[in-house]
């Protein structure tokens, strides 16, 4: 069992956004949960402690202490889970890394940002409202396919079978990016991991 981080150490709070329950496990809106699962597996962190409106797990990525968090509210109320987890540990927005799906970015794109608006993402909007700041590190995973879609239906429907390999690769790449943020900071991770969708030369920021 991994050691609990010592209180005097700077702790990174890594939150993956999603919706609880088996119905939503393999859907685009749950990319954040999938990345938390990947990090937990890689670093032998058990994410099972019930805490306020979330489940959490404490451990280390390399020699850096982290808290992995999966809110158990639904997406639109993510701030109600994230705020108490930070407050309980006397952490601030500067310790927070939020991983989530981004319909404004094309499929397989990835963007790390350190602040900014929610850009229509209700989970991020809820966190900004709860923390009263938009300054926190985000890891945005592009999920927009190259065909017309009904956005609500798409993000809550299971991934199409032919996309499963892409999903596994995207989750692994995103977990690598989070590890880089923890080890080296957001600026260096941005330079290394921000990427366009495959085959696209220019896209939305």
* Catalytic site includes residue 29: yes
Q: Count other Cβ atoms within 10 Å, centred on residue 23.
A: 11
Residue at token pair 């995973």: 141
DSSP, residue by residue, 68-88: EEEE-S-GGGTHHHHHHHHHH
Q: How far is CA 176 from CA 48, 52, 59, 113, in A?
A: 22, 28, 17, 16
The one catalytic residue among 29, 43, 94, 147: 29
Which helix (H) or strand (E) is 22 found in, with range?
none
Task: Report whether 68 contacts 40 (CB < 8 A).
Answer: yes
Residue numbers annotated as active site: 29
């Amino acid at each position: 069992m991994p050691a609990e981080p010592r209180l005097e150490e700077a702790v990174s709070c890594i939150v993956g956004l999603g919706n609880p329950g088996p119905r939503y496990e393999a859907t685009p809106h749950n990319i954040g949960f999938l990345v938390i699962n990947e990090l937990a597996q890689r670093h032998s962190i058990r994410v099972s402690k019930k805490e306020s409106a979330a489940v959490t797990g404490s451990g280390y990525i390399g020699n850096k202490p982290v808290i992995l968090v999966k809110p158990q509210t639904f997406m639109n109320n993510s701030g109600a889970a994230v705020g108490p987890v930070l407050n309980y540990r006397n952490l601030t927005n500067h310790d927070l890394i939020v991983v989530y799906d981004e319909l404004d970015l094309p499929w397989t794109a990835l963007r790390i940002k350190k602040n900014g608006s929610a850009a229509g993402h209700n989970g991020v909007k809820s966190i900004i409202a709860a923390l009263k700041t938009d300054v926190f590190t985000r890891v945005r995973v592009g999920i927009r396919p190259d065909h017309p879609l009904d956005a609500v239906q798409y993000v809550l429907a299971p991934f199409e079978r032919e996309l499963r390999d892409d999903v596994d690769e995207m989750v692994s790449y995103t977990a690598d990016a989070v590890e880089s943020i923890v080890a080296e900071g957001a600026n260096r991770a941005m330079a290394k991991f921000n990427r366009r969708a495959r085959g696209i030369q220019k896209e939305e920021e």
